[in-house]
Amino acid sequence: MKRLFSFCAIAFIIPLFVGCFSYTSKKSLGYRDHVSPDRVLVLLLPSIGGKGSHYETNGFIEAVREKGFEADLKILDVNPGLYFRGRIIELMKTELVDPAKASGYEKIILVGTSLGGHGALLYMMQYPEDVDGVVVLAPFLGWGLVADEIKEAGGLGKWEDCPALEWNYPCNMWKLLKEYVSDPLKRSTIILGYGKEDGFAKQNNLLAKELPPKNVFTVTGGHDWVTWKNLWIEVLEYFRFNCSQSGQETCLIDVKRITG
């Protein structure tokens, strides 16, 4: 059975994206490559604007470079309509994930902000054998009606069905999440972060209650890149100080660090 990663395992797969930088258009999905010698792939999915370059302009790459980890990075440009039509999942699998696995990548991690986090969760729930985990910052999990129903039921585990007036799409998303996080090993593969003043904080908090506490990060802020950058730094700092010693039980994946 494929070994699922724990929280600190991501510490050794958060990338230092060194080497060449280029823009590539491949079939339906465009992406930017940052290539390193390692055999770990990190796919970054953008928010509703669809521009992966926001990860670069908002300092995400600079932040991880300081930590000295290696991986190959693909920052995707995604038409937002692909998320809701469900096409993003199959496109990622056929154009990125399957070829990456065939070429010898040992680990694949998904990172997403907002709608990108939504897509990352959908992919992982549909093809859990493909990815070793996700880092999702303020993922879109639908609107308030279904969240209110889940809260009234006493949590996701006790919630049964969608309210009559809710859109089926987010209800189905929550049903998938309910099944996924019912497995302790699977729920350990989700790292969640969100701003306390985010308009979707209520929904994110419901998911947070189903995850190990150490997998959840919150900071002051709303639904914006400043907040997501702060969350990213919090996650990286945790990795830096808590998974820096070799042989820790929670740090299961050994990936080279750059020195010098």
Regarding predicted confidence, which is higher, 56 or 31? 56
Is the pLDDT at 30 greater than 50? The verdict is yes
pLDDT band, residue 142 (cuts 50/70/90): confident
**Percentage of residues in the chain having pLDDT higher than 90:** 47
CATH at 137: 3.40.50.1820
Distances 187 to 4, 5, 77, 110, 180 between C-alpha atoms, Å: 10, 10, 27, 15, 7
Mean pLDDT for the stretch of residues 173-196: 94
Nearest-5° Cα angle at 39, 126 to 22: 90
Q: Give the pLDDT band of residue 166 (cuts 50, 70, 90).
A: low
Examine the pLDDT at 165 and tell me if it is beyond 50.
Answer: yes
The answer to whether position 187 is within a domain reads yes
pLDDT > 70: percent of the chain: 73
Q: Average pLDDT of the chain?
A: 78
Q: How many structural domains is the chain composed of?
A: 1
Residue 148 lies in a domain: no
**Quick check: is 205 in a domain?**
yes
Q: Which domain holds residue 12?
A: 7-143+174-242
- Contacts of residue 97, Cβ cutoff 8 Å, sequence gap at least 6: 43, 108, 127, 130, 131
**CA-based nearest residue to 124, from 171, 159, 173:** 173
Residue 20 lies in a domain: yes
Question: Is residue 185 situated within a structural domain?
Answer: yes
Reported as a pLDDT band with limits 50, 70 and 90, residue 9 is: very low
Give the residue carrying structure tokens 């994206």: 17
Residue 238 within a domain: yes
What pLDDT shows up at residue 28?
Answer: 60
Section 178-182 average pLDDT: 96
Compute how many other C-beta atoms are within 10 angstroms of the C-beta atom of residue 31.
20
137 has pLDDT over 80: yes
- In angstroms, the CA 240 to CA 233 distance is 10
Bridge-based pairing of strands 29-34 and 21-26 is: antiparallel
Task: Judge whether residue 175 has pLDDT over 80.
Answer: yes
pLDDT confidence band for 150 (50 / 70 / 90): very high
Q: Looking at the domain assignment, is residue 101 inside a domain?
A: yes
At 42-55, the pLDDT tens digits run 899 999 988 889 99
Query: What is the distance between the alpha carbons of residues 258 and 250, in angstroms, rounded to a whole number?
Result: 21
